[in-house]
Amino acid sequence: MTHLTLPARRLALHCSILVIVSLMASAALAGPIERACNKSDRKAANRSVCNCIQQAADSTLSNRDQRRAAGFFKNPEKAHRVWMSKSKGDDAFWDRYKAFGAQAETLCGAPAPEDLGTSP
């Protein structure tokens, strides 16, 4: 059995802490779309696809739009209400959301958001 000196134990402890903090930070840095996608029970969703979809969201949707769209993963009825809405704001959002879906499909080879159960 190898016995580590006190400085070596401290170094090992610091390295372990850095690894744990790094893993926690990467999870915390996931955007709202990625977090919602990963939490969804859709069979097409996996960590790699969800990360790529988040990248598409980052390039096409504002933070506010991302938070709104993330709610569609948990409650697809919300997407249906926006899609059916007559308001100009909802129509504008829906146009941006469709552009995001097309971008995600192009970048990720991912199913469009509607295939993940997030739109009508």
Query: 55 falls in which pLDDT band (50, 70, 90)?
Result: very high
Q: CA-to-CA distance for 27 and 35, rounded, in angstroms?
A: 9
Q: CA-to-CA distance for 86 and 94, rounded, in angstroms?
A: 11
Q: CA-to-CA distance for 97 and 67, rounded, in angstroms?
A: 12
What is the pLDDT at residue 2? Answer: 60
What is the pLDDT at residue 10? Answer: 57
* Nearest residue to 35 (alpha-carbon basis) of 84, 6, 70, 87: 70
What is the pLDDT at residue 25? Answer: 40
What is the pLDDT at residue 42? Answer: 73
Q: Are the C-beta atoms of residues 39 and 1 closer than 8 Å to each other?
A: no
What is the pLDDT at residue 8? Answer: 54
Mean pLDDT in residue range 71-95: 92
Query: From the CB of residue 99, how many other CB atoms can be counted at a distance below 10 Å?
Result: 14
